[in-house]
Structure 1
Amino acid sequence: MTYEMFTALDGVYHSYRRASENAPTLVFANSLGTDLRVWDRVINQLPEQWGILRQDKRGHGLSTACDEMSIETLADDVEVLLDHYGISSFVGIGLSVGGLIMQRLALRRDTAMSHLVLADTAAKIGTPEMWNQRINTVRSEGISSIKTAILSRWFAPTYQKTQDFTMWEAMLERTPDEGYAQVCVAIRDADYRADLGQITQPTLVVVGAEDSSTPPELVEEMAHNLPSSVFHKINHAGHLPCVEQPAAFVDLLHQHLAT
């Protein structure tokens, strides 16, 4: 059995599992308010010989924060890890804000990234007014003051009635307020719509059919503006289909990497 090794580099907490033989290496980027465990149920269903690299964004999980954050600086952190482990070929998989990070890496590492997966994301997410309101609220009243609204957008109503739901509620609540706010600033200031046409990797675009954070029509619009993409809705899932419907997510991933 091949195990992931968990450690930190330059303040970024991450895990790495080297690929064996000619198996692919998958590089994951998480959503706002979650840590690397958001991918557990997907990774548990992947072949053991596949390589894995996942990490906590700055200000999330066990990674240290910095004075200012942008999508570009968050992409820098991933590149540091890629270089540290000598990863010259990989599949980029990004969820929500992680999708913004992977859009940048698709251009920065265009020859190294063989395939791209963008889940519940867009090239521009929300409006400055929406993000400013959230940033101000989190900084003045804390994440707990808006957790109900956030969780209602994360998950389908049926999932919110399960015992698992409370685990993700705890993960959100334990995200540092300032770390969360800084990533909100990064999302607010990111607009990569003009760059979509330059992303040439075969791209799988997926969205939970009940996602109200990045609604299916927004995600599908992004897919239409990518030169080489396929779009799928995952039923019975909200903003985190890798949590609610991991088997469906993995099935689509296998199909995508076979192309």
Structure 2
Amino acid sequence: MAPTDKTTTHKIAAKGATLHATSTGSGPPLLFIHALGLDHTVWQGVIRHFPDHCVITYDLRGHGASDAPTGPYAMGQLVADAEAVCVHFALKEACVIGHSVGGMIAQGLAVKRLDLVRALGLVATAAKFGQPGPWRERASTARTRGMAALAPDILTRWTPLGPHDAPLDAQLRATPPEGYASTCEAIAGTDFYTPTSGLRLSTLGLCGTLDAATPPDLVRETTDLIPGSTFHLIRGAGHMAPLTHPDMVADLIAVFLKGVGHV
């Protein structure tokens, strides 16, 4: 989302960090939460399709223009950050759409503060991301060798990326190693299968058919934890569907929002 006279930036005080957020438009609220190693701009191509909504984005702690305090972080703290964003904007009954770890945070927010969340969009995400060991190894690599040592492998798992390879590589390498590592440690300690299965709200699950980071069966399994949820595959997309297939992602979200009356 390029800054315009309709876009405002905000500094939000959260526990132990100041978060960078943006807001644009008015109408039913949409909160978008980005993936590990990136920032809020990953949603640019998607959110331009929602001029009749109040659209909120923010950078996770340790990412983008938000503070990167020394970790490790707990998933509860990342969820509390999302809660702080909602409180800052006085959001009520928002549709919260999260990509990858952003989707895990969205699940935690709905469990903790269902009064703030009317519906969920879970994009290429899971209730649990594998076993803790690899995440802790990745955290150690980030701290000892920097993001340059991780970026090539991450981009390989995110393929197909097409023309987005260069900017994504640059953004990954610019992410503070401590912020990345600490978020990896939060992921390592999180299993939301039981709390997510207790949710009762409208939910949309989306995943690319070529996603090697969060395979379709994993995303479908997570979405199916919530009764009455819907799931769609995005043909030809990898893990970065919001970047590579923004129009399709936006169209599916728009149909979902219309179906739940969030328009």
Shift of 1:139: 1.3
TM-score normalized by the length of structure 1? 0.93
> Which of residues 113, 125, 129 is equivalent to 2:129?
125
Match of 1:253 in 2: 253
1:110 lines up with 2:117 in the alignment: no
Match of 2:191 in 1: 191
Name the % identity. 33
Q: Segments of 4+ in structure 1 off by > 4 A?
A: none
Tell whether the 8 Å contact from 2:68 to 2:176 is kept in structure 1 after alignment: no
Match of 2:153 in 1: 149
1:227 lines up with 2:227 in the alignment: yes
Match of 1:13 in 2: 20
> What secondary structure, in the 3-state scheme, does the structure 2 residue paired with 1:258 have?
helix
Match of 1:206 in 2: 206
Could you say what the CA RMSD is over the residues aligned between the two structures, in angstroms?
A: 1.4
Deviations 1:45-76 (A, max 9, x none): 22x22101111001100100223312211111
Tell whether the 8 Å contact from 2:86 to 2:116 is kept in structure 1 after alignment: no
Tell whether the 8 Å contact from 1:4 to 1:52 is kept in structure 2 after alignment: no
What does 1:67-78 correspond to in 2, within 5 Å? 67-68=70-71, 69-78=73-82
- Report the residue type matching 2:22 in the other structure: S
> What secondary structure, in the 3-state scheme, does the structure 2 residue paired with 1:247 have?
helix
Shift of 1:138: 1.3
Provide the rounded CA distance (Å) in 1 between the counterparts of 2:10 and 2:114: 27
> What secondary structure, in the 3-state scheme, does the structure 1 residue paired with 2:69 have?
coil
Shift of 1:224: 2.1
How many equivalent pairs are there?
A: 251
TM-score normalized by the length of structure 2? 0.91
Shift of 1:209: 1.0
1:25 lines up with 2:29 in the alignment: yes
Tell whether the 8 Å contact from 1:58 to 1:64 is kept in structure 2 after alignment: yes
Shift of 1:112: 2.9
5+ residue gaps in structure 2?
Answer: none
